[in-house]
Amino acid sequence: MKESSTDDFDVLFVKKRTGVKYFAIIFGLIILTLTSVYAYLSIGSVRDRMELAHSTADATMQINPSLLNLLKEKAWIESRLQMASRDSIGLAIDLERHTIQLELKGVVIMSSKIRDYSTSGFFKKMDGNVYFSMFGTPLTIEKFISTIEKNPLRVVHAPKDTIAAAAAIDAAIKKDSLLDENVFWTVKLDRDIDLDIQGIDSVAEAKSKYKLGKGFEFERNLKNIISSFEHIMNFKKPVYTPEILISIPENDAKAILRALPRKPLVTIRI
């Protein structure tokens, strides 16, 4: 009687452990399958993006690799000349010379040194034809998202008398201090490229602002991931957008954001 009850208990224990084992295996397989499907479709979307870029590029043009840098230089100047034909401020980014500048009618009105930058692997794998189809002519900014207001305009109600007017002046003077803002902005370019600009003045400052900047980036990435999931749930490949991330001094990042008109032209050299 005693032995039998011990056997029953052991059986129960073994069953439970087997259950855990089965669960671990099945759950592990489900997770691995989901991850693999997600990775496969996500990576597939990058390859699709490159194929699309190839199909839209002028593949008939033969490009000698030894002349590629000269052709890029020519495209860079031609594109800036096209920008100069417009009356509005344009943005010129030269990753080769680490400069970002505002141009108006061909005149460089502001220039800033790029402290650091990173580009998607997509750009490193472009051939000449894809390069010129993407950067041979000016791009257009279609959408701005930023941590600071692009065109701040405060509404002030007119004072009723001179006493209220004097009080308003005092309040304005008190408010007029230098704001310590976290400047991070991202734009969507018309050839389906994301351009991210972050304002960083020093390493120490960058550390304290890292979290805020990352928060902004994370929020944006999360939106991309949700969109990717939606695509995958509908048995479609997610949309991949290659990115360029540039770090410049904070005041310059702010000045450039505020100077750019609604749909400005952008010339990029990589």
Partner 1 sequence: MIRSLLIFLAILFLGLLFFVTMVLFAIPALQESTLVLPSMIEVSSNSDIAGTDQQTLENDIAKLQTKLEKLTPVNAYMVVNTSDNHYYLFKDKKLVREGICSTGKNERLVSAERNYEHIFHTPFGVRKIIRKQPNPVWTKPDWSYIEDGLPIPSSRDPSRVETGTLGAYKLEIGDGFMIHGTIYKRRMGMSVTHGCIRLLDEDLEVVYKTMEVGSKVYIY
For the segment 111-150, give every residue that binds partner 1 (CB under 8 A): 120-122, 124-130
One-letter amino acid at 270 equals I
Q: How far is the CB of 179 from partner 1 (least distance, A)?
A: 11
Whole-number Å distance between alpha carbons of 140 and 267: 9
Whole-number Å distance between alpha carbons of 254 and 145: 13
Which residue lies nearer to partner 1 by CB, 2 or 160?
160
Per-position DSSP letters for 26-78, written without gaps between them: HHHHHHHHHHHHHHHHHHHHHHHHHHHHHHHS-TTS---GGGHHHHHHHHHHH
> Site residues for partner 1, window 230-269 (CB under 8 A)?
240, 243, 251, 254-255, 258-259, 261
List 70, 116, 211, 263, residue binding partner 1 (CB under 8 A) = 70
Which residue lies nearer to partner 1 by CB, 11 or 81?
81
One-letter amino acid at 101 equals Q
Each residue 29-58 as x (binds partner 1 by CB under 8 A) or -, in order, gives -xx--xx--xx--xx-xxx--x---x----
Question: 64: which residues sit within 8 A by CB, 6+ positions away?
Answer: none
Residue 249 forms beta bridges with which residues?
Answer: none
CA 236 to mean position of chain CA atoms: 23
> Site residues for partner 1, window 169-198 (CB under 8 A)?
172-173, 176
List 52, 165, 171, 239, residue binding partner 1 (CB under 8 A) = 165
Q: Is 225 in the site for partner 1 (CB under 8 A)?
A: yes
> Site residues for partner 1, window 6-25 (CB under 8 A)?
16, 19-20, 23-24
Q: H/E element holding 136?
A: none
